[in-house]
Amino acid sequence: MIIDPEGHELDALLARLPAVHQCSVVEVGCGDGRLTRRYSQHVGSVLAIDPGELAVAAFRSEGVPANVELRAIPIDRLELSDESVHVVLFSWAL
């Protein structure tokens, strides 16, 4: 399968990121990292989470970009400080 070779998804996402230096992103529902890999080079850091162990294992097996931290955890178990990130991306996850 060839997925979104036109880059419509990436373009739409990049256009919605805030214009801040070293943008920090929490991605909810990263799955196998298909989208994470495409946008991570445009932001400062990504905390990519997914409740699916298999999906996270698939992501890890293909290599995780240096600025991405990957965790197999649902959003209700993720503990973060208030007012600590620039973007929470619900990636096909709501």
Partner 1 sequence: MVHALNRAHRWLKPPSGRIIDLRPAHVVAEVELGLPDGSIAAVGGLVVGDERRQRHRAADLAVSAVVQRGTLTVSAEREFPFYRYANSADELREYIATKWQHTHLDAATEARAHEMMRANPGARLWLRERVAIRNLLPAVAS
Q: How many residues bind partner 1 (CB under 8 A)?
A: 37
For the purposes of burial, counting CB atoms within 10 Å of the CB of 68, is it exposed (0-12), middle (13-18) or buried (19 or more)? buried
Residue 18 engages partner 1 in binding (rule: CB under 8 A): yes
**Least Å from the CB of residue 63 to partner 1:** 20
State the Cα–Cα distance between residues 55 and 61, nearest whole angstrom: 10
22 makes contact with partner 1 (CB under 8 A): no
**Three-state DSSP state, 43:** coil
Among positions 21, 41, 66, 76, the unique one binding partner 1 when judged by CB under 8 A: 76
* Residue with Cβ nearer partner 1 (27 or 70): 27
* Minimum CB distance to partner 1, residue 64 (Å): 20
CA dihedral 37, 27, 86, 38 (to 10 degrees): 20
Tokens, residue 83: 């007012």
Q: Which residues bind partner 1 (CB under 8 A)?
A: 1-6, 8-9, 12-13, 15-20, 24, 26, 28, 75-76, 78, 80-94
